[in-house]
Structure 1
């Protein structure tokens, strides 16, 4: 990601988005594909095939509802990773330093030696905001996982 962003330097926010999309899609695709492949061999999919259901109905009525938890986890994980990647690339100075983002705030605080001059709040505030946003997305992910994953429901089925 850093190599591509350094090669396409001074491309602005669209370049950062393109770099994150190009380098970040593979993990989620592998996870979703492997989960789909494992569900494909289950008895309920086989019985739907033998009953004559179309492929679209099998995908949307049999496989997709069983993947809600992993789709939500992948979505929130990718969003968190994209936010951290954008802030990291901006902090390294690989984006447009004239836009306002938490990464550029950290970049300018580092360049002005804010820790050495006692202005630690310039580093602390954007860092805390990034951490709290990542934490909130992770907690939302846990909540969605608890609702959509039947194995995690407490007190039911035990």
Structure 2
């Protein structure tokens, strides 16, 4: 075998193993009907969000050039009616999917990343350092997440970055405790002792041995956290703590509340964004449960 072949051999073998693992994962995932339904819904929502500039245009949120009268009921021209400014609600719901999905994904990734770092560190360093980390985690765990997020969003500037940060830094404790438990289980295995005996340091053990074994748990937790993050973003926007310059589903509900849609009976102002939030949250939950069941068959999630 040549030098180049010897160098490419392990890489090719690693790629082949990853392809086989992905194929096994998809084969098992396909057996979960609820997971497939959630995945199909997410693909549909993603296509709607990505094609929004082509289907409804970026000017749909412009209040100075609204095409209809304020609070028009659904009709052939406006299938979901209009808002208090005369804007097409169907276009606003489609455009709002971009912000709601983006904020939910970014907040979930930030939350899971913080939880994974804290969990692996607390599980690997079991002395005073790990104890302090877990006490901090416990403090965040018992505090109401929504209250902390509202406090952060209140003292910081009103922007999408603030919403992402407020959700991400307040919702990581559950992930941290799960990852710590998995880290303790991994580090009790014999090959970890052999790695340390051969000179593997803390960074080597955590990144080369612990992290690959906790990644399935992190992936499943991410899919589950997205739905919670989308609901949290909608809640913050409904409370008036979101970015007022962008359109989101929670922001539409806030506008409907300010316009008195509940007392006036303007149901078309409330129902579409509410249903969109519920469907996306349900789709991510179904996908997360299916992923969790595939990666950990002992959970026995109903298919």
Q: Which sections of structure 1, spanning at least 5 residues, go unmatched?
A: none
Give the Å deviation of 1:58. Answer: 5.3
The alignment of Structure 1 onto Structure 2 pairs a total of residues equal to 152
Question: Among 54, 72, 77, which residue is 2:224 paired with?
Answer: 77
CA distance in 2, matches of 1:73, 1:100: 29
Partner of 1:23: 170
Give the Å deviation of 1:122. Answer: 1.5
Taking a change above 3 Å as real, the CA distance of residues 12 and 73 of structure 1, as seen in their structure-2 partners, is same
Give the Å deviation of 1:59. Answer: 4.8
Work out whether 1:5 is the aligned partner of 2:153: yes
Contact 1:35–1:67 (8 Å) recurs in 2: yes
Backbone CA RMSD of aligned residues: 2.6
CA distance in 2, matches of 1:22, 1:59: 23
Give the Å deviation of 1:53. Answer: 7.8
Contact 1:68–1:148 (8 Å) recurs in 2: no
TM-score (norm 2): 0.44
Work out whether 1:125 is the aligned partner of 2:272: yes
Give the Å deviation of 1:96. Answer: 2.1
139-148 or 87-96: bigger deviation: 139-148
SS at match of 1:138: helix
Give the Å deviation of 1:67. Answer: 2.9
Contact 2:163–2:242 (8 Å) recurs in 1: yes
Contact 1:147–1:153 (8 Å) recurs in 2: no
Structure (1 or 2) with the larger CA radius of gyration: 2
Work out whether 1:89 is the aligned partner of 2:236: yes
Partner of 1:36: 183
Q: Deviations over 1:88-136 (max 9, x none)?
A: 1010001222310011000001111112212112211111111111111
32-41 or 83-92: bigger deviation: 32-41
SS at match of 1:94: coil
61-70 or 139-148: bigger deviation: 61-70
Q: Deviations over 1:68-92 (max 9, x none)?
A: 4421222123222221111110100
Question: Among 161, 176, 194, which residue is 1:14 paired with?
Answer: 161
Q: Deviations over 1:37-57 (max 9, x none)?
A: 23211345445555x384667
Contact 2:223–2:285 (8 Å) recurs in 1: yes
TM-score (norm 1): 0.79
CA distance in 1, matches of 2:199, 2:294: 28
Partner of 2:287: 140
